[in-house]
Amino acid sequence: PPSTVSGYPLVASERPDSSRRIPCVRAMIRPIILLAALLSCTSAAVSGASPSLKPSLRPATTLRLSGGAAPSVPQPSATKSKQTIHDGREVYVLADSDAISAAVAESVAAIGKECIASQGTFTMCVPGGSIVKALSKLPPDSMDFSKVHVFFANERIGEYKCYKGAMDSFVDKCGIPHANVHKVGEGEPAEVAAAYEAEMLKCVAKNDKGIPVMDLVLLGTGEDGHVGSIHPNSDEVMQSGKGKVILPIDKGGKKSIAASMDVFCASSRIILSAAGAGRAPMVKAALSGDFEEWTVPAGLVKSEAGATAWLCDQESVATLNH
């Protein structure tokens, strides 16, 4: 329907030629006026008139509403303590790395089920390593996995460790169609990055900056603060905020691609994990903001319009408030 009803002739302009026709005309007008009011209300809802909606997250052609509720990351059931940082990031403290792995799977199951119920699909961007291993704990009956689409936060061209890890860990176990697992292609980094960017932009709704908006991004963190293939003081981290989507990497004989910081931060929900005493200095710097520019990429990961949660163990947050 049109955005307004002003273009529709609601009533004929000519006057009735007999007073006996007035009741009949009025009877005809009433339902038309009611229909016009309904069209107007529907148009306002779709255009984002409600202040609780954020239409910039999804363009009109792919707008998905979920009752107006802001995206959130549910608190894991095994949480020992919770802390909310001044900028809205939440820290859930769990007992150890095993508890973090279980919490990752629990969170993905809850978020995926919610997204599929509200919008019919669930898109997530995953790395390799401990995160993808944690997804082996996903219950196969936790959501309709035929509606799940998997993208990769980073990938080594030719080796495809992230893709293979996902297939072995949860894709086949949960019955995700292979066509919904968006594998990185073959070739030189620049052309592979361009092709993967096109694939992501084709399949995922974009925000008003032209960046694809994932329902969920999962990221592990390194002791140096790297996330995905975005390392401290690298060319890749310095592309943050420049509207890039997929970055080519060709260094030291290693050819790969990486989703940008802009993709991470455009996501509706982000979950980062950090375990062990070796990550404690990084966790403190990332969550306090006390670091020099480009030196702690994990500290730059913040959802612009949704929720960001850190899943940590007690060792990794030991110095957070000191």
Confidence of residue 51 (pLDDT cuts 50, 70, 90): very low
Sheet of 154-156: strand order equals 154-156, 254-259, 246-251
Predicted confidence (pLDDT) per residue in 144-173, tens digit: 999 999 999 999 999 999 999 999 999 999
Note the pLDDT of residue 252: 85
Phi first, then psi: give them for residue 125, nearest 5 degrees. Answer: -115, 125
Predicted confidence (pLDDT) per residue in 271-308, tens digit: 999 999 999 999 999 999 999 999 999 999 999 989 99
pTM: 0.80
318 DSSP assignment: T
CB 171 within 8 A of CB 178: yes
Could you give the CA distance from residue 27 to residue 255 in angstroms, rounded to a whole number?
73
Q: Strand 90-94 and strand 81-84: pairing?
A: antiparallel
Confidence of residue 68 (pLDDT cuts 50, 70, 90): low
Cα torsion 41, 44, 50, 56 to 10°: value is 150
Cα dihedral sign for 177, 154, 303, 287? positive
What's at 306, amino acid-wise? G
How far is residue 157 from each of residues 122, 161, 171, 183, 253, measured CA to CA in Å? 26, 9, 20, 10, 11
Predicted confidence (pLDDT) per residue in 107-143, tens digit: 999 999 999 999 999 999 999 999 999 999 999 999 9
Lowest mean pLDDT among 22-31, 33-42, 58-67, 114-123: 58-67
